[in-house]
Amino acid sequence: MAVLGVRVRLGGNATTDDVRALKTWLEREEPLEALLSGRHLRIEEQSGTDGTPGRLGPDLQLVLTILGDVVTVAALTEYTARAVKTWTNNRSRLQGGDPEPQIRPLDPDGE
């Protein structure tokens, strides 16, 4: 079964606290919260400290746990992008700096 979802990567200046705060933020965003409560989505934290060249920093990965289609992944990507943008704006206003988030759909093998 292919893994469908979205990966959110924060830049190298992001902290573990940033990852946790963003995860909490995403869990409370209305469209994502509905998917989580329906057990159609899970949010996993992945450490960005594995030494992989080109790796930007801490990862937050959203993975759909059910079969979906491109529209479902596109919608998840859109929901996630909006939520991350709002979180980034709030974080920048309160703490300064920019965690430089990158958002992209996962490949069919979950990468």
Quickly state the pLDDT bin for 49 (edges 50, 70, 90): low
pLDDT score for 104? 85
Q: What three-state secondary structure class fits 31?
A: helix
| Average pLDDT over all residues of the chain | 79
pTM tops 0.85, yes or no: no
99 dihedral zone (left: phi>0; alpha: psi -120 to 50; beta): alpha
CA-angle at 58, arms to 15 and 70, nearest 5°: 135
Tokens of 2: 């292919």
| Encoded tokens for 52 | 């992989």
Tens digits of per-residue pLDDT, 82-95? 999 999 999 988 88
Instruction: Say yes or no to pLDDT of 57 above 90.
Output: no
Helix (H, G, I), strand (E, B) or coil at 4: strand
Q: Please say if the pLDDT value at position 35 is more than 80.
A: yes
* Cβ within 8 Å of residue 2, ≥6 positions away: 67, 108, 109
Nearest 5°: phi and psi at 103? -130, 130
